[in-house]
Structure formats: C-alpha cells, structure tokens
Amino acid sequence: MEILYDEPIETYHRKGEHLNKSRLKQWLDDPSLFDVDMPVKKSDSIKTGDLVHKSFEVGYDKTMDWEIIPEEHSTLSGWKSTKKTKEFRESLSPKITWISAADHYLLADMWQQIRANSAAQSVVDAIAHHEVSIRWSRADGTQLKCRPDAITNDGRVVDWKTCRYANPLKDWWKAVVDYGYHLQDALYREGAKEAGWSDEPLIFVLISTSGSHQVQVVELPSEACVVGKRMLEKAIEGIAAHKAFGTALVPEGYGAVNTLPVPRNVFSLETSNGSNDNSVW
C-alpha cells in the first residue's frame, strides 16, 4: 500500500505493473491495444478538464488572479503561434497562469454556479486533499492504482468531470457508459478502502461546458455500481489470463454474429405500465 500526496501526474500515468482505470478500460474496449504504447494527445476538452482541476486545487481567489491572454496574442482556446506571440511569452514570468478569455468566462461561471448550488459548495468546502495517488496489491498479487481528484474530511472520494451536456442530470449517463465511469467507481472505492478511507460511491461533481455551465453533484445508481464492479473483475481476470497464458488479444465479439447491446427501452417510447423508463443499466 502506498499513498502519495504530491506525485507528479506524469509519474502516476507512467506504465508499470499497477493497473489504473485507463488500462482496465482499454482492455475491455480493445485488448489488442493493451500492450501497445499509444501516443497521448490532449484534445481541447481534456485541456479544459485540466484547467478545471487546477482551479479546484488552488481555489476561487487564486483562479480569479489568473491573467487573460491579451487579445493580440490570443485565439479562441489559447495562444497564437506567431513569432510575435512567442517572443511575448518568453518575456513572461513563469509564476503567472495565463488563460483565454473563454476559459476565464467558463471558470468564473463555474464558481458562480458552485455558490448557487449548496451541495456543490459543501463538497468543495469539505475537501481535505487534492490529487492523491493510491497504489495497492490484492491478495492474489494483482497490482492496482487510482488517483482521486479529491478526498473529503470524512474520507469520501470526489471526482471533477467536465461535460458537454447543458443539463448533466438528464444526459450525463451517456458519458458514464462511454467512458466507463462506473468502472472508475468500483476501482476508486476499492483503493479508498485500502487506504483507510470511505468506500461509499464516488461523488461526481459535473461541470457543464455549455449552456449556463451548470454544476451538479451526483452519485451513480446502485445498479451501475454493480455493473462497474463486474467490469473491474472481468478486466483483471482477462489481463491476468493474458499475462499467464498469452491469450489472444482480439476485441470481444470477434468470431460471432452479435446481437447489438442497447440500453433498455431505447427502441420503445413507453414501458408496459405506460411510464417512461430511461434506465441504461
């Protein structure tokens, strides 16, 4: 068991024997890529997520001290790549954080929405630690790791999530399925328990990057948590078999005609009792 409070994110993501959520999800999505070193490319959405994480780490006051990139050197999402802008950046103090006007608008709105949502403000006020790396081993030798965005005073795991949905409560379940956040819930709860903290469901704080930039606080439904736990065990068992016996790395479903898996009631407007049912688990 190892708990690190100041580990650089690059060190945490370095490949090793410990399996994190990304590698477990990769195995489930396409095991043929499991042993492949894929180049990491940061999309604009990932960069926005990184900025939001940093803002939560430093807090509202320091976030509002960040400087807005001058218009003559700014694009919609960051710095221009001109010679003039390069020379300007070389003259700047590395202690100053520069952000685009659009990012400043998003962050200012985010903090305003947090103040408007007492549940979100309560979570922020209860944070005891940010960016905690946890590594542990199961009794069978499986080595796992996770990195909660935050830990509250009572040991709950908090995860900040930016999302493109204007109404996260209505639409965020799609991201849970696409990105395996129920798998993350299972892994992080196990890690938190090993570290002596709470193994209650993760607290997800959702920050919309569209509309009015709603900030919502959610936990996953119990049925999603059960599926996430099954996914965790399936990935661990598959990876262990691959390492022990050299099992073929092919995507699940190869060699068969598969019935397309879909959320319940996608192809029907109403359930048998006449009520809408948007369950996806």
pTM: predicted TM-score of the whole model, two decimal places: 0.86
What are the distances in angstroms from CA 164 to CA 19, 199, 210?
Answer: 28, 28, 6
- Collapsing DSSP to helix, strand or coil, 152 comes out as strand
Place of tokens 């995507």: 251
pLDDT (average), residues 35-57: 79
* Residues 77, 66: Cα–Cα separation, whole Å: 15
pLDDT tens string 204-236 = 999 999 988 999 999 999 999 999 999 999 999
pLDDT tens string 81-132 = 999 999 999 999 988 999 999 999 999 999 999 999 999 999 999 999 999 9
pLDDT band at 47 (very low <50, low <70, confident <90, very high): confident
pLDDT tens string 234-249 = 999 999 999 888 876 7
The dihedral sign for the CA sequence 194, 196, 197, 198: positive
Burial zone of 184 (CB within 10 Å; 0-12 exposed, 13-18 middle, 19+ buried): buried
* Residues 187, 193: Cα–Cα separation, whole Å: 10
Give me the residues paired with residue 216 across strands: 206
Q: Within 13 Å, how many C-alpha atoms sit on residue 241's CB side?
A: 11
Residue 195 structure tokens:
């570290």
Give the pLDDT score at 32: 87
* Residues 196, 200: Cα–Cα separation, whole Å: 12
User: How many angstroms from the chain centroid is the CA of residue 57?
Assistant: 15
pLDDT tens string 140-178 = 999 999 999 999 999 999 999 999 999 999 889 999 999
How many helices (H) does the chain have, and how many strands (E)? Answer: 11, 10
Region for 81 from its dihedrals, namely left if φ exceeds 0, alpha if ψ lies in -120 to 50, beta otherwise: alpha
Residue 151 structure tokens:
């830990």
Under 8 Å between Cβ of 249 and 242:
yes
| 269, pLDDT greater than 70 | no
Give me the residues paired with residue 4 across strands: 133
Give start and end residues of each alpha helix (H) in 18-117: 21-29, 44-58, 60-64, 83-90, 101-116
